[in-house]
Amino acid sequence: MDLKDHYDFVIIGSGFGGSVSALRLAEKGYSVLVIEKGKHFRDTDYPETNWNLRKWLWIPALKCFGIQKLTFLRHASILSGVGVGGGSLVYANTLPKPKAAFFNRGSWAGLADWETELEPHYKTAWQMLGATVNPKLAESDLALQKLAEKINKSSDFSPTTVAVYFGQADVTVSDPYFGGRGPDRKGCIHCGACMTGCRNNAKNTLDKNYLHLAGQLGVTILAENKVTSVKAKSESGKERYSINFSRSTSYFSKERSVTSEIVIVAGRVLGTIPLMLKLRKSTLPGLSPRLGEMIRTNNEALIINTTTDRELDLYKGVAIGSILETDENSHVEPVRYGKGAGFWRITMMPMVSERNPIKRILRLLITPFKEPITWLKIFFVRDFGKSSAVLLFMQHLDSTLKIQNGLFGIRSKIEKGKAPTPFIPEAHELALKYSEIIKGKPQIMVNEVLAGIPSTAHILGGACMGSSPEEGVINEKNEVFGYPGMYVFDGSMISANPGVNPSLTITAITERGMSYIPKKN
């Protein structure tokens, strides 16, 4: 790909923040380069199941160039997305708006009337992402509905709002969203494979809306390249920043560089924070001391419930088709993978709720012998994807971590509050009741049972907003303190615990931030 030496804007990352920025800046007449370390996927490039590790997992050292990245820290195991379109390729499509408390908590509280200011941008985000209410409750959703009845919460159960084109199943139509400017789409077939990559062209990933439209306006998207350094060249003038990058899918690659007037860092938390921490020790020493702090996990629990009933097809539907609000701080959703997607079974152990590690291991050893026939059926179930539903439990309750660069990669430590835990009593209680309904048993990941380390798909913060460099990394307009013309637009800017999937909120905040960028002359 031929690149220019200079761009008005260089965007690092192509997730929700990077994609929104690319389109809005192009509409305002700027030249834009987007650098993305992952690959550019067509629908047929996605794996049929998550057993195809080379196409599903992102482990460049092993030549695995997929869309799912797994990161293991001392206090959390993190699932994140990689590729042109970022987290939209692998997320569960849900687009919820956080409750009112989110807008008045954390380091951004008081910097603006967030709920009021973001309201029109949430509407824009829903429209751009093709948000619609899930029209079809499948078996795992109906089981959650029964659970709602069982705990007297029927009125708190509802279908989800999702970024999916439903239309007529498996029928291709001309662009239904952007007056013909977007790509053709095909109606959802409810195969449950949203999170291994939608092969049916029904999921509204960013490469089918924001990035597609940005490309029509001349935005250059450079895939399979990773930014290695950003250097501030001068206080003013067009060549304000120099950006170095190299191939992310090669063991050996020569660095290249471009210059830009403005840089937007949108590499998602696990890309943005390590990069900026590295830059603070080298080319950008004036970055805030709060960089890497106020990291949040949405206080999640991920519990896989596997049924022994061969007649149940828990894979059918969209990735998350329903939600149950269990109290003012918490909710639970049934998550599904497609038929045949059984990779997670090799990481699963029986769910135990004991916090004491010695007692927990003893319970783990005893549990299968209490119901040996049932557990044998669970362990050797024929199709794990077909027979399993993941209960995703999330809370607004807050605790924060700090991430630092270490000798062998990033490491975490507790900053404020209690350490995240997989042993959330409410979550385990709900999982046991849900498993009774589907005639199954709950399981959790081996790192949770043995080490007490929880898993999360929603790592947030690290470059939060504040009123000064002593309070945050960026200001209320997302500009980095101390470096004019550098912005952060991704999950690392989220400055309080939303308690829900953050994709819609990242999109809305970025839309707001872009509204402050003037048109080019």
Q: How many C-beta neighbours within 10 Å does residue 113 have?
A: 11
User: Which residues, 6 or more positions from 460, have their beta carbon under 8 angstroms from its beta carbon?
Assistant: 269, 295, 296, 297, 298, 491, 492, 494, 497, 498, 502
Q: What is the pLDDT of residues 421-463, one digit of tens each?
A: 889 999 999 999 999 999 999 999 999 999 999 999 999 999 9
What is this structure's pTM?
Answer: 0.96
447 found inside a domain: no
pLDDT (average), residues 350-371: 93
Q: What is the DSSP string of 478-498?
A: SBBTT-TTEEE-SGGG--S--
Q: What percent of the chain has pLDDT over 70?
A: 98
Q: Where do the H-state alpha helices sit in 255-384? A: 269-280, 357-370, 372-379
The CATH number linked to 240 is: 3.50.50.60
pLDDT (average), residues 371-375: 96
Count of domains for the chain: 1
- What is the model's pLDDT at position 235? 56
Higher pLDDT, 319 or 416: 319
Confidence of residue 329 (pLDDT cuts 50, 70, 90): confident
347 found inside a domain: no
Q: How many C-beta neighbours within 10 Å does residue 464 have?
A: 27
- What is the model's pLDDT at position 68? 97
- What is the model's pLDDT at position 237? 56
Radius of gyration of the chain (CA): 22
368 found inside a domain: no
- What is the model's pLDDT at position 414? 87
Q: Are 321 and 159 in contact (CB under 8 A)?
A: yes
pLDDT (average), residues 110-114: 97
pLDDT (average), residues 344-366: 93
With 90 as the cut, is the pLDDT of residue 355 above it?
A: no
Q: Cα–Cα distances in Å, from 259 out to 241, 244, 263, 514?
A: 6, 9, 9, 21
165 found inside a domain: no
Q: How many C-beta neighbours within 10 Å does residue 94 have?
A: 25
172 found inside a domain: no
With 90 as the cut, is the pLDDT of residue 325 above it?
A: yes
Residue range of the domain that includes 240: 6-61+78-131+197-296+458-515
441 found inside a domain: no
142 found inside a domain: no
Q: Is 435 exposed, middle or buried (0-12, 13-18, 19+ CB in 10 A)?
A: buried
281 found inside a domain: yes
- What is the model's pLDDT at position 507? 98
Q: What is the pLDDT of residues 184-209, one digit of tens each?
A: 999 999 999 999 999 999 999 999 99
* Of the candidates 3, 185, 162, 181, the residue with the CA atom closest to the CA atom of residue 92: 162
User: Which residues, 6 or more positions from 105, have their beta carbon under 8 angstroms from its beta carbon?
Assistant: 398, 496, 497
Residue 331 annotated to the active site: no
CA 241 – CA 236 distance, rounded (Å): 10
- What is the model's pLDDT at position 406? 84
pLDDT (average), residues 109-113: 96
Confidence of residue 419 (pLDDT cuts 50, 70, 90): confident
Confidence of residue 33 (pLDDT cuts 50, 70, 90): very high
Bridge partner residues of 35 (DSSP): 12, 222
Q: How many C-beta neighbours within 10 Å does residue 375 have?
A: 17
Q: Are 242 and 259 in contact (CB under 8 A)?
A: yes
